[in-house]
Amino acid sequence: MEQVKDKFDRPLRDIRISLTDQCNFRCSYCMPAEIFGADYPFLPKEKYLTFAEIVRIVQAAAELGVEKIRLTGGEPLLRKHLSELVHDLYTKTSIKDIALTTNGVLLPKYATALKAAGLQRVNISMDALDDRVFKEMNGRAVGVKAVLKGIEAAKAAGLGIKINMVVKKGINDHQILPMAEHFKKEGIPLRFIEFMDVGSTNGWQLSSVVSKKEIIRLISSQFPIESVKGSYYGEVASRFQYQDGSGEFGVISSVTESFCSTCTRARVSADGKLYTCLFSAKGHDLKPVLRSSDSIKEVKEHIAAIWNQRIDRYSDERTEETAKNRPKIEMSYIGG
């Protein structure tokens, strides 16, 4: 197995694959309802990569040193027959670390089948425990109970679980401690995410960011904590454990503390474009090589050539001005 590296000597180890650009929420973070309304022109389903094409991408990526695959969206559980894709990824590629990012609402229906197919873990998006705040942020009349039922279903199925909370100042920052306390009791790792300027539609401004330092200061005022050493190269969350042994939380700080220098992650959109940065404006279309030949070698060489030329350092270079004016792909299209 070869290992491909970019111009800054960053290896490719993690690929996130978006299965659909649609979602059953209209979250203010990545799909604000005033833009992504009922008439929004989402991708027609015939534009999506087929499951067979996704498997070939992953087979090629594994030969380049990729160790992790995460299936994302939109909402990936809206993609029909998803457990069949997970089974094929688990049995036809060498990658066994297969995860899913979801809002959790459909997990009671699918968690058991996904676990049986080879899914290892789920990252569930949940931005508040307070029902009013949660509904305000997801843009729909979907309450907290629906997500909590999804978490229980994932737990019952034997899936590993992490919770992701995007924190916006003045919107849900008062939910930091209730969320920390709840998932501390549950023994489920919680990841706080600084509100990022993903896409061009979420109304991002620096004044809406609750920093990593603020989050840590708030939690440590309530619970004794200590830092935890990173478990692998390229880990994006700064991790902390509760001193009473009841679990851990983490903070993803790409606004206030960039981790560009160790970024090992690429993303593939639902229609087959490879993005080498979450903040990219343009992707590299993989469909021509996928559809002109059955050769895994050609797909591998194409991905390697793209990654080898990678010079992305957006979070290192971000200013409030560039964040507002630089075009970026939407989160719902590229996946989290």
Share of the chain above pLDDT 70, in %: 87
Q: What is the pTM of this model?
A: 0.91
| pLDDT score at 201 | 54
Regarding predicted confidence, which is higher, 175 or 326? 175
DSSP 230-246: -SSTT--EEEEEETTSS
Dihedral angle over CA of 86, 108, 134, 126, nearest 10: -40
Contact between residue 17 and residue 71 where contact means Cβ atoms under 8 Å apart:
yes
* Contact criterion met (CB below 8 Å) for 172 and 125: no
Residue 266, annotated as binding a ligand: yes
228, 248 contact by CB (below 8 A): yes
**For residue 108, what pLDDT is reported?**
98
Residue 16 is labelled as binding a ligand: yes
The reply, when asked if residue 326 is annotated as ligand binding, is no
The answer to whether the annotation marks 314 as part of a ligand binding site is: no
Q: Say whether 30 counts as a known binding-site residue.
A: yes
Please report how many Cα atoms fall inside a 13 Å half-sphere around the Cα of residue 95, on the Cβ side: 28
Label residue 232 by pLDDT band (50, 70, 90): confident
Q: Is 118 annotated as a binding residue?
A: no
Residue 334's pLDDT is what? Answer: 74
Q: What is the pLDDT of residues 268-283, one digit of tens each?
A: 999 999 999 988 888 9
Is 33 marked within a binding site?
A: no
The reply, when asked if residue 267 is annotated as ligand binding, is yes
3-class secondary-structure state, position 264: coil
- Residue 217 known to bind ligand: no
Q: What confidence tens digit (pLDDT) does each residue in 109-152 have?
A: 999 999 999 999 999 999 999 999 998 887 777 899 999 999 99
Kindly indicate the confidence band of residue 233, based on its pLDDT and cuts at 50, 70 and 90. confident
Is 7 labelled a binding residue?
no
| Cα 98 from Cα 170, distance rounded (Å) | 35
Give residue 101's pLDDT: 96
Across the range 301-330, mean pLDDT stands at: 81
29 is an annotated ligand-binding site residue: yes
In CATH, the number for domain 14-164+262-334 is: 3.20.20.70
The single-letter DSSP state of residue 77 is: G
| pLDDT for position 316 | 81
